[in-house]
Amino acid sequence: MEYRRLGHTDIKVSVLCLGTMTWGEQNSEAEAHAQLDYAVAQGINFIDTAEMYPVPPRPETQGRTETYIGTWLRARGRRDDIILATKVTGPGNGIKHIRDGRTRFTEPVIREALEGSLRRLQTDYVDLYQLHWPDRRTNFFGQLGYTPMEEKEPPHIEETLTALARLVEEGKVRYIGLSNESPWGVMSFLAAAERLGLPRVVSIQNPYNLLNRSFEIGLAEVSHREQVGLLAYSPLAFGMLTGKYLDGARPAGSRITLYSRFTRYLKEEGQRATAEYVRLAREHGLSPAQMALAFVTSRPFVTSNIIGATSMEQLAENVASLDVALLDEVLAGIEAIHTCQPNPCP
């Protein structure tokens, strides 16, 4: 396993991070624990979760994912060997069941969210506490263009950062990070930290995969110059890049078959590009999933690639992507497809 530094901290995280958002929905507690045991045995020390999980978010299941991680941490007693990341839910996105929809990032909201996570996780600190998505009107979750929108209140980044800083001071949070953010958002948090002498954000967790490389446009430079590395989520575009949904196939029990709301990676152009990436992988004797994962892990602005799996076979295949080095001709093939079909599923 390779380890990379998390932002400016002295924490070294594994280049693969174990995603957890299927636990409590597609996966049981026993399966979650088996995934954790396997991942840790393979050298993964980084786990990503959220108070909102599992996905799709539902009132009946909310918090289960953290609960399963908590029971595992308690049973194995290895808390200090793990770099544990979780997130506070932002406003909107159809989520009313968390704090009755009170999700603007004020101190009481963030504090209440963190206390809930700590209780479920059976720990007294998280290593990385992330804002799940911005609480201002901006373009994320697949929205490509930016249209200035009326806002009830202006962004309140200093207030949010001050609230997070208190939790750091109290020892409940070691470091803070952003998710689904824009270059303006990251730079604003960094500028506020500088102005007020408060903690800097150390990471940004955004989507990044062969069908959506929009991170490269504005954020890759921010990552590099400001030491705010990418924690890449959905590296397989919800499983699409394995090729298993091509030609209208809908394998039983898989995410896109089960949940009709997940349309982000189903666009016609995305399917055309996927067919090309799958063809390229097979031409070079590679598994399409491993090629897609190796591409993400090998990008210089990536701190860790957040993999997700619903079976042990998938998890083993994904972890083994670390053994795949992409040859120059494969990388050239990827660039050729990307040039013809850039970011078909932003």
233 sits in which H/E element: strand 229-233
If one asks whether residue 44 binds ligand NAP (CB under 6 A), the answer comes out as: no
Query: Nearest 5°: phi and psi at 130?
Result: -115, 145
If one asks whether residue 42 binds ligand NAP (CB under 6 A), the answer comes out as: no
One-letter amino acid for residue 148 of the chain: P
If one asks whether residue 62 binds ligand NAP (CB under 6 A), the answer comes out as: no
* Beta-bridge mates of residue 17: 306
Measured between alpha carbons, how far is 243 from 137 in angstroms, rounded to an integer?
34
If one asks whether residue 33 binds ligand NAP (CB under 6 A), the answer comes out as: no
Peptide bond into 154 cis (omega under 30): no
- Gyration radius from the chain CA atoms: 19
Instruction: Quote the Cα angle for 288-182-117, to 5°.
Output: 80
CA 289 to chain centre: 17
Chain residues 180-199 in contact with ligand NAP, contact rule CB under 6 A = 180
How would DSSP label each residue in 147-182?
Answer: -----SS---HHHHHHHHHHHHHTTSEEEEEEES--
Chain residues 91-150 in contact with ligand NAP, contact rule CB under 6 A = 132
When binding is defined by CB under 6 A, the residue of 61, 71, 93, 254 that contacts ligand NAP is 254
When binding is defined by CB under 6 A, the residue of 67, 103, 223, 242 that contacts ligand NAP is 242
If one asks whether residue 14 binds ligand NAP (CB under 6 A), the answer comes out as: no
Q: Scan for tokens 């963190």, then name that residue.
A: 114
Chain residues 282-341 in contact with ligand NAP, contact rule CB under 6 A = 289, 306-310, 314, 317-318
The stretch near ligand NAP (CB under 6 A) out of 8-16, 74-82, 222-230, 237-245 is: 237-245
Active site residues: 53
| Strand pairing report for 46-48 and 83-88 | parallel
Tokens matching residue 28:
């049981």
Which lies closer to ligand NAP via its Cβ, residue 14 or residue 332?
14
Closest CA to 214 of 203, 227, 230: 230
- Least distance (Å) between residue 169 CB and ligand NAP: 25
**How many residues bind to ligand NAP according to rule CB under 6 A?**
30
- Least distance (Å) between residue 331 CB and ligand NAP: 20
Chain residues 205-234 in contact with ligand NAP, contact rule CB under 6 A = 205, 233-234
Which lies closer to ligand NAP via its Cβ, residue 42 or residue 162?
42
Query: Nearest 5°: phi and psi at 240?
Result: -55, -40
When binding is defined by CB under 6 A, the residue of 21, 128, 204, 230 that contacts ligand NAP is 21
Measured between alpha carbons, how far is 239 from 266 in angstroms, rounded to an integer?
11
Which lies closer to ligand NAP via its Cβ, residue 4 or residue 166?
4
Residues of this chain that interact with ligand NAP (CB under 6 A) are: 19-22, 26, 48, 132, 179-180, 205, 233-239, 242, 244, 254-255, 289, 306-310, 314, 317-318
